[in-house]
């Protein structure tokens, strides 16, 4: 009797995990363009001795300039972003963070699913039956 209840609970848990995985898949498919990294605002000094950016008391640096920094396949990269594109780039960065969060959720759910399927008492009983069957 207890083994039947354990199997029912295991099946319910697997069904719940499968529904959550399907929900994550749908959210992943709905994501738009994405980009890894971060955007920083920078100010520069040009080096021209007559420029206000080198004023000894009140320097006025050039900028702001927006710089996108990221790592892809182990290679770091930096690119300057035009001011009119910063908002769209930041939107893509947010989408990428959502992507990473959803992927972490999917992996966590898959690990839980694997624990139930391969390491639970019910899974061990099923494996023992398969081995002892001719």
Q: What is the 3-state secondary structure (H, E, C) of 28-52?
A: HHHCCCCCCCEEEEEEECCCCCCCH
pLDDT at 47 (0 to 100)? 83
**pLDDT, position 128:** 53
- Cβ-based neighbours of 91, under 8 Å, separated by 6 or more: none
pLDDT per residue rounded down to tens, the chain (134 residues)? 334 444 457 788 899 999 999 999 999 999 999 999 999 999 999 989 899 998 889 999 999 999 999 999 999 999 999 999 999 999 999 999 999 999 999 999 999 999 988 887 766 666 555 545 55
Q: What is the pLDDT of residue 5?
A: 40
> What is residue 1's predicted lDDT score, i.e. its pLDDT?
36
Domain boundaries, the chain: 2-124
**pLDDT of amino acid 129:** 54
């Amino acid at each position: 009797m207890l083994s039947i209840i354990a199997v029912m609970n295991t099946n319910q848990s697997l069904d719940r995990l499968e529904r959550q995985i399907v929900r994550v898949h749908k959210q992943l498919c709905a994501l738009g363009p994405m980009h890894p990294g971060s955007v920083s605002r920078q100010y520069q000094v040009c080096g021209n001795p007559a420029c206000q950016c080198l004023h000894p008391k009140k320097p006025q640096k050039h900028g702001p300039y927006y710089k996108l920094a990221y790592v892809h396949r182990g290679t770091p990269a930096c690119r300057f972003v035009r001011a009119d594109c910063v908002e769209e780039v930041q939107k893509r960065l947010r989408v990428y963070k959502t992507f990473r969060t959803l992927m972490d959720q999917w992996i966590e759910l898959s690990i839980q699913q694997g624990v139930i399927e391969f390491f639970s008492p019910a899974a061990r009983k099923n494996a023992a039956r398969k081995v002892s069957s001719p």
